[in-house]
Amino acid sequence: MTARGTPGRHRRRALTALTLACLWILATLPGCSPGRGEPVTLRVLASSELADMQPLFDDLRRDTGITLTMEYQGTVEAAANLASGRYRHDVAWLSSSRPFQLLLKESGRQADSPLSTSTMRSPVVVGMKPDVAQRLRQSPPDGQLSWADLADAAAAGTLKYAMADPRRSNSGLAALVGVATAAAGKGGALRPEDVSCDRLRGFFAGHALAEDSSGRLAEAYARGEDGLDALITYESELLSLNRAGTLHTPLEIVYPKDGIVLSDYPLMLLDPAKRSAYDRLASWLRSGPVQQKIMDRTLRRPVDPDITRVPGLRAPLGNALYFPDSQAVVDRLLADYDSAKKGGTTRVIFLLDFSGSMRGERSANLRATMNGLSGADDSGSGKFTRFHVGETVTVMRFGGRVLDERSVTYTGAADLERLRGMVADDGFDTGTAVWSALDHAYRTAADAVAKDPGQRVSIVLMTDGENNAGISLDAFLARYAALPPAARAIRTYTVRYGEADARELDRAARATGGHMADATGQSLLNAFKEIRGCHE
């Protein structure tokens, strides 16, 4: 009988083992409860906006035995602390791991990248007052707004928006990446050369409110909404503001057609000794019932595609943009932002050849180019390179000498007409004194920075002929070398047109830290746009 009973016992044991294995597998699948384990406390470094998850932590403790001790920081600040090793936490829970991963990559510590699990999603989009959205939609033929449209309106002074500080907040950094990607016109991940010139100066002109976190930004917007047109932040923050009913004017959510950056709120394991508790926590957060609670409470999108979205989350996200894979790109974007927020005026001096060879078609092209920079160019690149509110533009016309010099600080539409009028004069001159004219421009620029040391000045020199009057290039360079340091820091960007000497123009640009754009193989407007914004 013993021999006959042994197979039965083996079958029962095998069935029990199989049942336990199945239960364990089910418990770790999304939508299933992970089960309660030994009580444990996890120290969590979290993005500040995740404070809205606090009401769910009692359920977490009841269901799993896990207690969370939260420390909240801005995501960018938290990433820097994690990368430097300045933390004593078991788990990190940030809106995005990408700033942290870039810092690890830069330091050569990619192997230290922690285990990571996405827990929910929210894109960085634009909440806009409906009348403002309606007005802006009149420009694009398809009625769909882009980051370029927002930059164009900000540069024109018709859009004032709130956005979190990208030096501290992921929502601000994600917005900055989205706008810069649109400005580069590439679609892929930004490279350092894509942000070599500041294309976002016009966009920054509309930035009227900043805070260190998206939560504080939403609160500040609600207090000062009457003076603002839009709020750039997480979709979840915008939906929550509208749901709270505290705004005088509910915001229309705009998903820019040129793409958005998505945050996936990864849970990252910092202490490998806490792996078991981490697995329970991650499984609980991704379970179906908890995903539903997260969506209902925070209005973030669940990672589980089978969960039915609430009405506000049913809009398609559109094109998802790549986050940069180089810290150098992020550093450059933040440097441009930092420079813009320091204030100070921006001046560009256009030194334009009005010698006799510019008569006719060439002068017509020059007028069209200046019209394009004044807002007539409605292409994506044109919207990022137009003149912006607060910018001072000086136009110097030269032939065998400097013919005239006029300046305007752009504050409104009337100033754009004045800018167009500066190049409408048909007065031409014999001779082409290229280097004497550039020397005059540097004297003017030196006086400007002496009076206003914080002013950002650049010079754009356009000529269609060789120098045949005034001083030589060597003489100019000797005079340039004798200028004060602040004046020598001003860069010249040369535009070769017609029969101009490419070698001399390139040499002059390089000597001052600028570069040459060649308009013999492209339109004059595109050549100007190539160097537009290259102030530093």
pLDDT tens, position by position, 262-277 = 999 999 999 999 999 9
pLDDT at 12 over 50: no
pLDDT tens digits for range 316-347:
888 888 889 889 999 989 988 888 877 667 89
pLDDT at 378 over 90: no
Mean pLDDT value across residues 175-198: 84
pLDDT at 54 over 70: yes
pLDDT at 144 over 70: yes
Average the pLDDT over each of 90-94, 247-251, 411-415 and give the range with the smallest value: 411-415
Domains of the chain: 14-120+264-307 (3.40.190.10), 122-263+321-334 (3.40.190.10), 344-531 (3.40.50.410)
Element (H, E) at 118: strand 116-118
Mean pLDDT value across residues 397-424: 84
pLDDT at 18 over 70: no
Q: What percent of the chain has pLDDT over 90?
A: 57
Say if residues 45 and 89 touch (Cβ distance below 8 Å). Answer: yes
Say if residues 267 and 117 touch (Cβ distance below 8 Å). Answer: yes
pLDDT tens digits for range 234-243:
999 999 999 9
Average the pLDDT over each of 60-64, 212-216, 414-418, 429-433 and give the range with the smallest value: 414-418
Secondary structure letter of residue 220 according to DSSP:
H
Say if residues 442 and 459 touch (Cβ distance below 8 Å). Answer: yes
- Of the pLDDT bands very low, low, confident and very high (cuts 50, 70, 90), residue 115 is very high
* pLDDT given for residue 533 in this prediction: 67
| CA angle at 469 for the pair 477 and 367, rounded to the nearest 5° | 90
Torsion of Cα atoms, 283 then 287 then 291 then 297, to 10°: -80
> What mean pLDDT, rounded, does the chain reach?
87
Distance, in Å, from the CA atom of 70 to the CA atom of 211, rounded to the nearest integer, reads 21
In degrees and rounded to multiples of 5, residue 463 shows phi and psi of -145, 150
Q: Which residue has the higher pLDDT, 415 or 485?
A: 485
Mean pLDDT value across residues 90-109: 92
What is the crossing angle of helices 98-106 and 327-341, to 10°?
A: 110
- Strands, E assignment, 256-336: 262-263, 266-269
Q: Which residue has the higher pLDDT, 418 or 352?
A: 352
Element (H, E) at 460: strand 456-463
Distance, in Å, from the CA atom of 161 to the CA atom of 148, rounded to the nearest integer, reads 14
Q: What percent of the chain has pLDDT over 70?
A: 92
pLDDT at 34 over 70: no
Task: Find how far residue 87's CA is from the centre of its chain.
Answer: 28
| Parallel/antiparallel/unpaired status of strands 122-128 and 207-209 | unpaired
Secondary structure letter of residue 300 according to DSSP:
P
* pLDDT given for residue 35 in this prediction: 61
pLDDT at 3 over 50: no
Mean pLDDT value across residues 420-435: 82
Mean pLDDT value across residues 369-384: 84
pLDDT at 218 over 90: yes
Say if residues 114 and 92 touch (Cβ distance below 8 Å). Answer: yes
pLDDT at 204 over 50: yes
Mean pLDDT value across residues 469-485: 95
pLDDT tens digits for range 277-311:
999 999 999 999 999 999 999 999 999 888 999 98
pLDDT at 134 over 60: yes
- Of the pLDDT bands very low, low, confident and very high (cuts 50, 70, 90), residue 29 is very low
pLDDT at 11 over 50: no
In degrees and rounded to multiples of 5, residue 363 shows phi and psi of -70, -35
Burial class (CB in 10 A: 0-12, 13-18, 19+), 3: exposed
* pLDDT given for residue 9 in this prediction: 44
> What pTM value is reported for the model?
0.84
Q: What is the token pair recorded at 145?
A: 């707004």
**β-pair partners for 234:** 124
pLDDT tens digits for range 500-529:
899 999 999 999 999 999 998 888 988 888
* pLDDT given for residue 308 in this prediction: 93
* pLDDT given for residue 534 in this prediction: 67
Largest CA distance in the chain: 121
* pLDDT given for residue 320 in this prediction: 85
* pLDDT given for residue 53 in this prediction: 96
Residue type, 380: G
Q: Which residue has the tokens 């001159």?
A: 429
Q: Which residue has the higher pLDDT, 195 or 41?
A: 41
Which residue in 338, 341, 347 sits closest to 452, CA to CA? 347
pLDDT at 164 over 80: yes
